[in-house]
Amino acid sequence: MKTGLSFAILIAMAMPVAFVLIGATFAFMLFESNFRVLSVLPGVMFSGLEVFDLLAIPLFILLGEIMNAGSITRKLIDAARLLLGRVPNGLAYVCLTANLMLASIVGSATAQIAIMTKTMVGEMERDGYPKGFSAALTAAAGILGPIIPPSMPFILYGVIAQVSVADMFLAGILPGILLFVGLALLITIRQPRRDIDIEALQAAAAARPEVSALRVLLEASAALSIPAVIVLGITFGIVTPTESAVLAVAIAVVVGGLVFGDLKWRDFPEMLSRTAQGSALVLILIAAAKVFGWVLTYYHVPQAIAGALQMMTTDPTLFMLLVFAFCLLVGAFIDGIAAMIILVPILLPVATGVYGVSPIHFGVVVCMTFAIGLLTPPVGLGLYISAAISGLPMTKIVRDITPFVALTIVVVGLIAVFPALTLALFGA
């Protein structure tokens, strides 16, 4: 109880989560009057970083930076527009499909929401879509990023849970497609009333250079070669997730620099600097979480939680629904990656050891649930990004995004209840 109070106080003080975890660890030992384990903690902390798969994190962050610097995103949007532009409400489907394509490259919801909001909201507004609907759709579709492989949260979960990152990537494919289909159906049902400005549309069309359909498809194929290498290489066991990240970065450099010609060498120092900063933030979180999880295990906290849960239910399905509801609540107040790093070492041993839940299925549900937290206040980082870039008040986006959040909750709830939706592709 005292340790939990220390944890809550540090969180309330807006301390960085890594320092909250380390501070709570020391508080735990102080209250237990056990300082002998202090000599063990540095080794535990660094052992948490001695994992080959963690090399994929800076590589995928760099891949996202390359995507931002080049025109690869634009090529994917042009291809989606070519395929879906004449469909009723076509630009909404273009936005959703471009998000699906981008998710198979970037792997980060926040980066994807920023890219797509900047690119699509203005275009959709010119096409007559209400600005609130456009910003809400772009933010909601952005959470495909942490679900469709490659996925940063899946990599982190794989490292924390010591399960195959490749299996996590494969397990995310069907849930990602299911969410995509659900969002497409919701767009069909919620056809917004459009106030089309013909002059703005004509001006936007005139500003776009005339490009043949064949060229658009060829350029999109070059961009989509990046996720093809990642997914197919991992699926057929040709490369590890880290090796696929190396190949993806190399292909992105070639495509952006040589094929499209808009990636310059002068851009790389700044991209590498941002990559190093982003990687450092994630890695110190992992190291701190390793220490926190080790101390909790040392004092048998997971066993105590398991006993409490077993008093509530012995049914694995009901347990997963409880985990889903709990993570949904936590994700509304704590950043998803930080929450996952805190909770997985506590809940995973209970899920696998007591309820016989597959660690892969558990990981997909947890990662998807925390992704929803990007769209729910008060934290809702995805909402803040969308509001800042689109220029809309937060209250307007919250109102428009509510149906999308409700749909996502239903989809993740189904995945929590039916493990086959995550495990079917590799026969686990």
> In the structure, what pLDDT confidence band is assigned to residue 182 with cuts at 50, 70 and 90?
very high
Q: What is the pLDDT of residue 206?
A: 47
| pLDDT of 296 higher than 80 | no
Cβ proximity of 142 and 116 under 8 Å: yes
Q: Which residue has the higher pLDDT, 256 or 349?
A: 349
* Positive/negative CA dihedral, 310, 316, 317, 321: positive
Helix (H, G, I), strand (E, B) or coil at 286: helix
User: Do residues 18 and 166 both lie within one domain?
Assistant: no
- The answer to whether 404 and 135 have CB atoms below 8 angstroms apart is no
Asked if residue 202 has pLDDT above 50, the reply is no
Is there a single domain that holds both residue 414 and residue 317?
yes
Q: Residue 3: what pLDDT?
A: 56
Q: Are 30 and 63 contained in the same domain?
A: no
pLDDT at 175: 94
Q: Are residues 34 and 183 in the same domain?
A: no
Rounded to an integer, the average pLDDT of 278-284 is: 79
Give the total number of structural domains in the chain. 2
Q: For residue 160, which of 342, 37, 331, 38 has the smallest C-alpha distance?
A: 342
Percent of all residues in the chain with a pLDDT value above 90, rounded to a whole number: 15
Predicted confidence at residue 201, as pLDDT, reads 47
Are both 72 and 32 inside the same structural domain? no
Residues 329 and 419 in one domain: yes
Residues 3 and 128 in one domain: no
Supply the DSSP string of 105-141, one letter for each residue: T---HHHHHHHHHHHHHHHHHHTT--HHHHHHHHHHH
Cα 5–chain centre separation: 30
Percent of the chain with pLDDT strictly greater than 70 = 84
Please indicate, yes or no, whether residues 276 and 196 belong to a single structural domain of this protein: yes
Token readout for 204 is 């936007």
Task: Tell whether the model's pLDDT for residue 165 goes beyond 60.
Answer: yes
pLDDT, one tens digit per residue, over 208-254 is 555 567 777 777 777 778 777 877 787 777 888 788 888 888 888 88
Predicted TM-score of the model (pTM):
0.80
Q: Out of 188-202, 212-226, 324-338, 393-407, which region has the weakest mean confidence (pLDDT)?
A: 188-202
Whether the pLDDT of residue 66 is over 60: the answer is: yes
Q: Verify that 115 and 27 share a domain, yes or no.
A: no
Q: How far apart are CA 135 and CA 398, in angstroms?
A: 10
Query: What was the pLDDT predicted at 125?
Result: 81
More confident residue, 13 or 172: 172
Q: Is the pLDDT of residue 34 over 90?
A: no
Mean pLDDT of 97-125: 80
Give the pLDDT band (50/70/90) at residue 6. low
Q: Are residues 404 and 286 in the same domain?
A: yes
Assess whether 271 and 368 both reside in one domain: yes
Give the pLDDT band of residue 70 (cuts 50, 70, 90): low
Q: What is the mean pLDDT of the chain?
A: 80
Rounded CA-CA distance 136/396 in Å is 9
**Structural domain harbouring 28:** 1-39
